[in-house]
Structure 1
């Protein structure tokens, strides 16, 4: 019924399409009455990008009010539909007066303007997420009270963005994100992961370990942790990658789950750093658990009320 109503609204032309952002043509597709998919060409990324938007009750094209926004970032080798495909974020959002925006994050999930041997240029994922996307979402009545969350590399992006853009987000939550990029051995680990997904392009993302360490440090949440003061934080990850309480019945363990061991080391180090700096953080560094959605869905449910409180989003 919701899909039918959404399609009927568009077909009848009861609401006009918003003006394009900075001359960009934005294509809309209603998934249902409160879920809108947007696709447009991003000059920052150099390709077509998308965002799935969960609209709050009471939203209309012509309203003058704005809503607080949660920007939810995907993990690597996934896409902007992952949050609604893998979790019940739609139900969580529907309980509050809040908008949720789930944008493209790229195949490798780097969440950075690529280094490109120091030359810069596309893709500029950080600029896309922190400048282009909020400006576009303002046309859909997204307000300036923002929170961000993400899984895996999206969790890294959520916390790194909050540190690199102080005051932009009221809250940042990371579920199994890489939060200490320059910890011993982690540059090799992360570059290897990107090599498997991007081939030689992996060295264009943060740069070569050693030679381009300054750029790595500039995007390392651990190194930039002092800039997180005043931002609410939720940090979680496993430490073993082994079957845990949320492993689905019959789930087949894979060697890639061992990545959670290294991610757990990074998050323990990052949380310790926050404690040293006396920056408040809610953390859940658990033992057994996969680098997978069942664990992240549980963490989402725990973090969501904290995020809503930080945004001042009413039920």
Structure 2
């Protein structure tokens, strides 16, 4: 029996409805959208203060986890204007901090010389160490380095006004991240600054044991990050700024650290074994860079001082002229 036009139309409507329903049930649709954006997509935007915008970003590199990225926006910033792109400062937080640390603990939001710069403050995990985790040789999530240097960079430069002129700075774990990213991704950053950074985690057993304790911070097996420091020494060296020093010789680099004793911004009698360890690491990296002929190295090893925010705010200000020159921005 031949179907009537009504029946053909009704059947088509049913098929279309079923197709629409199936589209809403396919679990991979968001992942496909993220893949189109280089593995990440913005799923939420919140204005938290004047010139401060938080992006909620879902990342394939982080196992489809959604994390926050805070932007400190320049004057005249308009993400809808795809013709204008801004010089960009990546500002990395330390261990036990998050994407809000720099704005909540320093005066970065009020620095006038940054009003012509887009400042990117990404989440990096409580103890993510700016690394694609080894995970017993299997790789996979979390892949913080891939998230920052590929997914997030492409997303920001496509849709949020970030330009191709970039510099990077960070404290502690973020100082190591800044040096690693500048060394491991030649051409991505025009200058790097590290404040009390973990600059040579393979320096000695004390340094190795200390960073392994950080790796284990939230109940993780510390070997998941870079593996065993002996069996996977090559993986460790690939994330150790000292062993990457040859890739930093042509960049402006700023290293600063205290020696772990009470300084002018500390209470009397304060001591800090972590800062003392990082001080030795930073001296080792500076010596390596000098041996390699680095001509654009600035060091501020200021002696007394502990692992605290008051010094990192001061060092951000001290290094800004170098960072802004790298961006081609007048301070």
TM-score interval for Structure 1 and Structure 2 normalised by the shorter chain: 0.7 to 0.9
CA distances 1:180-203 after superposition (whole Å, capped 9, x unpaired)? 1211222222112322x1334221
Secondary structure, counterpart of 1:222 in structure 2: helix
Partner of 2:79: 61
Deviation at 1:228, TM superposition (A): 1.2
Partner of 1:6: none
Which shows bigger deviation, 30-39 or 77-86?
A: 30-39
Secondary structure, counterpart of 1:117 in structure 2: helix
1:263–1:132 CA distance, 2 compared to 1 (3 A): same
Which has more radius of gyration?
Answer: 2
Where does structure 2 lack aligned partners over 5 or more consecutive residues? 1-32
Deviation at 1:164, TM superposition (A): 0.5
Pairwise CA RMSD: 1.8
| Number of residue-to-residue matches in the alignment | 291
Partner of 1:182: 202
Cα distance in 1 for partners of 2:309, 2:148 equals: 23
Give the 4+ runs in structure 1 shifted more than 6 A: none
1:90–1:149 CA distance, 2 compared to 1 (3 A): same
Secondary structure, counterpart of 1:100 in structure 2: strand
Contact 1:36/1:53 (<8 A) preserved: yes
1:191-270 superposed matches below 5 A: 191-195=212-216, 197-239=217-259, 241-247=260-266, 253=270, 257-270=272-285
Cα distance in 2 for partners of 1:200, 1:109 equals: 11
TM-score by length of 2: 0.84
Contact 1:56/1:94 (<8 A) preserved: no
> Which of 127, 142, 156 pairs up with 2:162?
142
TM-score by length of 1: 0.88
Cα distance in 1 for partners of 2:77, 2:220 equals: 45
Cα distance in 2 for partners of 1:220, 1:110 equals: 11
Where does structure 1 lack aligned partners over 5 or more consecutive residues? 1-18
Cα distance in 2 for partners of 1:252, 1:142 equals: 44
> Which of 131, 134, 138 pairs up with 1:112?
131
CA distances 1:121-141 after superposition (whole Å, capped 9, x unpaired)? 110011111111111111111
